[in-house]
């Protein structure tokens, strides 16, 4: 739930005067997203989303994110396209914040995805990776292995307040992942936060991907590992291998995984679970009094991590070798 920043009538008018969007017909705060303030903006010309970037997004990273969306949209990926103002700028300032207008994407986020959704997300993720191949921007993943010890340290020894034993378990995981973290996997632009709220569907058709504000350069298979964590577990904590199989098959229908990516998948899935456990843990321990946002439960990802630790190989996530004849059969 968002909208942290209130926009005054004058500020809005002044900002929109720099654009060529026609008369404003509607402007409503959207109760979604936890990083930024988002407004639904209807003008005589079209529907848009106006985003104010709150302090969690580094302003220096915005050109990377906006350039990436433009790049991906040009290559046919359904994602928000930043709208340039009369002077050709996509990035402006509103109410003291960096601000951007992007095109509106139709579709609904599914809260309880089925295997069909997982297959579609897998395929879209691979398309995103392919479309990002020739994107010239680079942005190191600020929330990968190198940052996790620091994140854990900023929890300041209070992890056991959340669950007894969490501190020791997390320290052991950090040590082990530092030793076995895979290197040299195929890299490129990854979304890095492709949770269910960031993918829209109309009926069963995937209609768009949003929220590129964690996008970075990292191992492509790590992005798939994040999606397995985000989409393929049931509310009771169990991994749904049917959904995993659908997601990986969807991914491989566009971009088959390399053998070293398949081998690394269990480790990458542990890392992804640890990354979300740690950021949630820090948020959980740092809720300001009177906060308008409820933090997400870090233990959900601690439990997922427990599952990944017992996984022996990618087949347990539903991975199967790409059948050589699959493409010709499908198109027959």
Residues at the site binding its own copies, with contacts judged by CB under 8 A: 1-3, 6, 8-10, 23-32, 40, 42, 104, 106-108, 110-112, 202-203, 290, 292-294
Least Cβ distance, residue 215 to its own copies (angstroms): 22
**C-beta closer to its own copies: residue 188 or 295:** 295
Least Cβ distance, residue 290 to its own copies (angstroms): 7
**C-beta closer to its own copies: residue 25 or 168:** 25
Whole-angstrom Cα distance, residue 74 to residue 71?
5
Least Cβ distance, residue 198 to its own copies (angstroms): 13
**C-beta closer to its own copies: residue 9 or 236:** 9
Whole-angstrom Cα distance, residue 316 to residue 310?
10
Least Cβ distance, residue 116 to its own copies (angstroms): 13
**C-beta closer to its own copies: residue 31 or 179:** 31
Give the burial class of 297: count Cβ atoms within 10 A of its Cβ; 0-12 exposed, 13-18 middle, 19 or more buried: middle
CB neighbour burial string for 159-176, b if at least 16 within 10 angstroms, e if fewer: beebeeebbebbeebbee
**C-beta closer to its own copies: residue 171 or 286:** 286
103 φ/ψ angles, rounded to the nearest 5 degrees: -65, 150
CB neighbour burial string for 199-224, b if at least 16 within 10 angstroms, e if fewer: bbbeeeebebbbbbbbbbbbbbbbbb
Least Cβ distance, residue 217 to its own copies (angstroms): 31
């Amino acid at each position: 739930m968002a909208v942290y920043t209130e926009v005054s009538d004058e500020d809005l008018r002044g900002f929109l005067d720099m654009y060529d969007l026609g008369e404003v017909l509607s402007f409503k705060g959207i109760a979604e997203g936890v990083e930024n303030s988002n407004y639904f903006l209807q003008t005589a010309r079209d529907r848009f989303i106006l985003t104010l970037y709150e302090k969690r997004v580094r302003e220096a990273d915005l050109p990377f994110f906006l350039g990436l969306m433009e790049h991906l949209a040009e290559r046919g990926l359904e994602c928000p396209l930043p709208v340039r103002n009369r002077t050709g700028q996509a990035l402006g300032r509103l109410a003291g914040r960096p601000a951007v207008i992007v095109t509106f994407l139709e579709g609904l986020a599914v809260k309880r995805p089925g295997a069909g959704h997982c297959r579609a997300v897998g395929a879209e993720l691979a398309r995103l990776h392919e479309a990002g191949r020739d994107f010239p921007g680079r942005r190191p993943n600020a929330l990968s292995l190198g940052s996790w010890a620091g994140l854990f340290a900023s929890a300041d020894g209070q992890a056991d307040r959340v669950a007894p034993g969490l501190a020791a378990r997390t320290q052991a995981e950090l040590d082990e992942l530092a030793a076995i973290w895979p290197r040299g996997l195929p890299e490129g632009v990854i979304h890095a936060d492709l949770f269910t709220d960031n993918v829209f569907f109309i009926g069963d058709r995937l209609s768009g991907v949003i929220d590129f504000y964690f996008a970075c350069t990292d191992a492509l298979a790590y992005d798939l590992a994040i999606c397995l964590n985000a989409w393929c577990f049931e509310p009771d904590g169990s991994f749904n291998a049917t959904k995993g199989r659908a997601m990986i098959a969807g991914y491989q229908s566009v971009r088959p995984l390399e053998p070293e990516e398949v081998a690394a998948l269990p480790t990458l899935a542990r890392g992804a679970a640890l990354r979300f456990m740690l950021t949630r843990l820090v948020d959980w321990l740092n809720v300001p009094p009177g906060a308008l946002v409820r933090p997400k439960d870090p233990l959900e990802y601690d439990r997922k991590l427990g599952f990944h630790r017992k996984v022996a190989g990618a087949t347990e996530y539903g991975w199967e070798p790409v059948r050589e004849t699959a493409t010709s059969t499908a198109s027959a």
